[in-house]
Structure 1
Amino acid sequence: MFLKKIKSEGLAHLSWIFGDGNEAFVVDPRRDCQVYVDIAASQGVHITRIFETHRNEDYVIGSLELSRLTGARIHHGAALDFGYGDSVTEGDTFECGALRLEILETPGHTPESISLVLRDSNQGDTPVGVFTGDALFIGDVGRTDLVSGREREMAEALYDTLFNKLLPLGDQTLIYPAHGAGSVCGENMASREFSTLGHERAHSPMLQVQDRERFVRKKMEEHHYQPRYFKKMEEYNLEGPPLLGPLPVPRPLSAGEVAKRTESGALLLDLRSPEAFASSFIPGSLSIPLDLLPAYGGYLLEYGRELVLLTDTQTELDLAVRHLIRMGFESIAGYAKGGLTAWQSSGRDYGSVDAIDAGALNARLEQGEEFTLLDVRKITEFRKVRLKGARHVFLGHLPDEIGQLDRNMPVVTFCGSGQRAIVAASILKAHGFEDVANAFGSMAACEALDCSMLDRSEA
């Protein structure tokens, strides 16, 4: 008998494989799914069933891909008409050796959400664990804003799911959610990825709100962003995404080939560090540091537009491909062979982004210099603390709101540490802004220095 967690970094997606005897079940598999086949082989079992806790919004589900490899049947909630697989309803049970899985219908995050209660028949009928999907996380509960016009209904449904279905399973029940900290599916998840219903009952902030109407109001007052790629994920995961097969292997492109591709409309995606991009970048390229790609690629990349990737190492290139494929971005034309060195050696133009430290930025603000301090953090961060005079535009919305900025005014981009700020700087540069500087360290540095221009008043 075994149970293993598979974590997809970046998206903070958690999927699960468990089994006993000769069989194994998988819950919410990712698209690059060979990992489950390998685990099953190592355990001497065969994957026979795949369960989806809901139609996922933030990554391409791997159920069809895994079913193609194993012949396993796919199951998901009956409240949505999926284009593939079989529907399950409350009370359905499935046996895997001595393990027994029971379906709970747990709407709230989405109408068709289900949870899977796990029992060990060797030790009675008490639940051992529950796969909660996006209904209940560790430290947080699911967002309820994804069905436009039905936000109150979904918040009410989530309350009923949590307090009337999941918590009654018992304090001993282990929680196996579909996401961990860093996911766009929740704001306040704990960094810890193990817990019980008893611990969450006692400590999770939203589970302390036991009054139903107050719970609903708090959920409806939450602010969540919805990356535009969510719509594509919903489409893929409803009808069934295109089968992928082996992961694509980007072809190497010379500096000349990179230039031709970008002149023909391809986007050069620079995945290097903020400092590397600021020092030297290929004009027109978009900077998204590799660890930010899962969080912001869905806002800033376009489906169908060819991508040329720029990384420092093969390992980074391989990880970038996985991140992109998991979000459904498959038009990868190749990678810039030789990186910036090859581009510079070809005699072609390259750009740079000025840097400004927190002390110098604070001094410019104190002196009343005229420039745009562009804060691209989330609105929840901005409301807590900001620099006086800062203008807020969330990074994911910057391409749509860039026309509201004065191109003739110097701009300093600002975030929590300088990482998101370099993304903003690259967008501004690509749109013809000339005088752009990046505030390396950004808010972290300003707070460390206790800058005089910090503003902690309610925004």
Structure 2
Amino acid sequence: MLIQQIFTEKIAHSSYILAGDKNCAIIDPRRDIDIYLDITRDMGIKITHILETHLHADFISGHMDLAKRTGAPIYTPEKANCDFEHVSLSEGDSIEIEDIRIDIIETPGHTPEHISYIITDIIRGKEPVAVFCGDTMFVGDVGRPDLFPGRAEELASKLYDTLHEKLLNLPEFCEIYPTHGAGSLCGRAMASKRSSTIGYERKYNYALLIDDKTEFIDSLTNDMPSAPDHFSRCTEINRKGPELLKKLHIPEALNNDAFRNIMRDAVVLDVRSFESFGGQHIPDSYNIDINSNFPTYAGWLIPPEKNIILVSDNYTQAFEACQQLHRVGLDKVEGYLEGGMYGWVTEGFTAKHVPQISAPELNDRMHKGEKTTIVDVREKSEYEEFHIEGAVNIPVHELRERYTELDPDAETVLICGSGQRSGMGCSLLLQHGFRKVMNAAGGMTGYAAAGFGHECPMCVLPWAPFGNR
């Protein structure tokens, strides 16, 4: 028996190949599936099963594309009520792949329909060796139960029972393989390690150390991180069955005139760095830096019903952005600006800019008493850890509505951990008529490095949900 993990950066998603000598299952596949086909081809094995633990909220699954390419059946939780052709699974069912037995248990809590796959290597022993637990248990954390409006306490209660009455009854040496690692918003405090054991998590996982059920429920239903908009959309797309990637429109290179014609009825998404966007950008465009947690913020900020046209540094960057947009269900990517911003401004078309100010410049403004509104667009937990005195905290996704709390005529400086989220925020405020917007390049990381405050732990961890973002 062989287990191979495939980790997808930015969405912090782990999928798996569970293989025997000749056949294998793919567990919780990502949407762009070529990686599984390439690996199994090199291994000389056939994909015979596609297993889903639950209806994923934060990414679009590749089960439809994988089934189309391989002919393998899709196995899903019975309670998911999926619309596409599939094999329904519930408590007590089992699957065999050569000498591997896969027992199914229902593990609700993160979602109502969630199941887990318990793996026994029959040749080596009768006890379970591994469990693919989806988003029920993570390394150092458990799945958040608050994604379904009005059901958070109910699902937290079910999650407690799932953990203590089912998963923790597995052998201490049983390996756990979750669907996410640190950086995902499907939990609150995942560790950077991507697999663990039941025994280790029992001893060191903060949520499993909460014995009192009421306290457990309270812990997981208060002060949770914000859930991006696309979480609810992705769940339903995965239930119905995502559109096959080969049927999606292939983004085309657009010259300036074609781009101008399309942009009247489309979203212009600038995926260049926040510094480049600050230099020159097309008016009313969104800026989501491709180097940031791009798919998450695109799913959060971009209207899903709109066509999307991209501004990028080159074709490769546009292709990468398109692939990541597809991972969160933003499929209406029409094209990209062929000549980039250089071609745009050299033809004399209108462009705007956002001044980028350094930490010392910001500090000088504050000490000189200049009338400046500082908006900290990090999450509340980051803001509370360390912030500039007098700064207003409005997380970047909330600026879409809460911009009304700010004066559009005031000089406004946005700050985050590095400049990326604040760059997004600047693009949002400019769309609403703000005229004096500046971005604090380097963010709180630069502010601390310049000696103006202590280091923000959340800003400097590359694997944290908003680390270096």
Matched, 1:99 2:109: no
Take 1:246 and 1:44, find their aligned partners in 2: how far apart are those partners?
Answer: 29
Q: Which runs of at least 4 in structure 1 moved beyond 6 Å after TM superposition? A: 452-456
Aligned to 1:81: 81
TM-score, normalized by length of structure 2?
0.92
SS of 1:95 mapped into structure 2: strand
Aligned to 1:430: 431
Q: What does 1:67-146 align with in structure 2 at a 5 Å threshold?
A: 67-84=67-84, 85-146=86-147
CA apart distance, 1:301: 0.7
Aligned to 2:466: none
Take 2:289 and 2:165, find their aligned partners in 1: how far apart are those partners?
Answer: 43
Take 1:315 and 1:333, find their aligned partners in 2: how far apart are those partners?
Answer: 16
Aligned to 2:47: 47
Task: State whether residues 101 and 120 of structure 2, in contact with CA within 8 Å, keep that contact through their aligned partners in structure 1.
Answer: yes
CA apart distance, 1:19: 1.4
Cα deviation code 1:401-446 (max 9, x no counterpart): 2222211111101111111011111111222211111011121122
Take 1:86 and 1:149, find their aligned partners in 2: how far apart are those partners?
Answer: 30
Letter in 1 for 2:300: Y
Aligned to 1:211: 212
Take 1:148 and 1:431, find their aligned partners in 2: how far apart are those partners?
Answer: 30
Cα deviation code 1:259-306 (max 9, x no counterpart): 2221x2222211111111111212221110013321211111112312
SS of 1:122 mapped into structure 2: coil
CA apart distance, 1:155: 0.9
Take 1:222 and 1:29, find their aligned partners in 2: how far apart are those partners?
Answer: 30
Take 1:453 and 1:75, find their aligned partners in 2: how far apart are those partners?
Answer: 50
CA apart distance, 1:453: 11
SS of 1:104 mapped into structure 2: strand
Take 1:454 and 1:117, find their aligned partners in 2: how far apart are those partners?
Answer: 42
Task: State whether residues 388 and 453 of structure 1, in contact with CA within 8 Å, keep that contact through their aligned partners in structure 2.
Answer: no
Task: State whether residues 411 and 437 of structure 1, in contact with CA within 8 Å, keep that contact through their aligned partners in structure 2.
Answer: yes
Aligned to 1:163: 164
Letter in 2 for 1:133: G
Task: State whether residues 17 and 27 of structure 1, in contact with CA within 8 Å, keep that contact through their aligned partners in structure 2.
Answer: yes
Cα deviation code 1:312-331 (max 9, x no counterpart): 23332222111011111111
CA apart distance, 1:375: 1.0
Take 1:25 and 1:403, find their aligned partners in 2: how far apart are those partners?
Answer: 51
Take 1:157 and 1:233, find their aligned partners in 2: how far apart are those partners?
Answer: 23
Aligned to 2:311: 310
Aligned to 2:288: 288
Aligned to 2:464: none
Aligned to 2:359: 358
Structure 1: tracts of 5 or more residues without a match: none
Please provide the CA RMSD for this pair: 2.0
SS of 1:191 mapped into structure 2: coil
Task: State whether residues 299 and 329 of structure 2, in contact with CA within 8 Å, keep that contact through their aligned partners in structure 1.
Answer: no
Percent of aligned positions that are identical: 38
Take 1:351 and 1:434, find their aligned partners in 2: how far apart are those partners?
Answer: 11
Matched, 1:411 2:406: no
Take 1:431 and 1:236, find their aligned partners in 2: how far apart are those partners?
Answer: 31
Task: State whether residues 4 and 16 of structure 1, in contact with CA within 8 Å, keep that contact through their aligned partners in structure 2.
Answer: yes
Task: State whether residues 366 and 453 of structure 1, in contact with CA within 8 Å, keep that contact through their aligned partners in structure 2.
Answer: no
Aligned to 1:64: 64
Aligned to 2:152: 151
Moved more, 432-441 or 43-52: 43-52
Letter in 1 for 2:339: G
SS of 2:187 mapped into structure 1: coil
Letter in 1 for 2:26: V
SS of 1:387 mapped into structure 2: coil
Letter in 2 for 1:286: Y
Letter in 1 for 2:131: V
Moved more, 244-253 or 102-111: 244-253
Aligned to 1:341: 342
Moved more, 242-251 or 81-90: 242-251
Task: State whether residues 15 and 178 of structure 1, in contact with CA within 8 Å, keep that contact through their aligned partners in structure 2.
Answer: yes
CA apart distance, 1:35: 2.1
Take 1:68 and 1:97, find their aligned partners in 2: how far apart are those partners?
Answer: 23
Letter in 2 for 1:62: G
SS of 1:3 mapped into structure 2: strand
Moved more, 387-396 or 194-203: 194-203
CA apart distance, 1:142: 0.5
Take 1:164 and 1:442, find their aligned partners in 2: how far apart are those partners?
Answer: 45
Moved more, 204-213 or 54-63: 204-213
CA apart distance, 1:130: 0.8
CA apart distance, 1:149: 1.5
Q: What does 1:250-399 align with in structure 2 at a 5 Å threshold?
A: 250-262=251-263, 264-290=264-290, 291-399=292-400
Task: State whether residues 279 and 352 of structure 1, in contact with CA within 8 Å, keep that contact through their aligned partners in structure 2.
Answer: yes
Matched, 1:229 2:230: yes
TM-score, normalized by length of structure 1?
0.94
CA apart distance, 1:9: 1.8
CA apart distance, 1:103: 0.6
CA apart distance, 1:248: 5.1
Letter in 1 for 2:416: C
Task: State whether residues 299 and 397 of structure 1, in contact with CA within 8 Å, keep that contact through their aligned partners in structure 2.
Answer: no
Task: State whether residues 448 and 454 of structure 2, in contact with CA within 8 Å, keep that contact through their aligned partners in structure 1.
Answer: no
Letter in 1 for 2:388: L
Take 2:74 and 2:456, find their aligned partners in 1: how far apart are those partners?
Answer: 52
Moved more, 364-373 or 396-405: 364-373
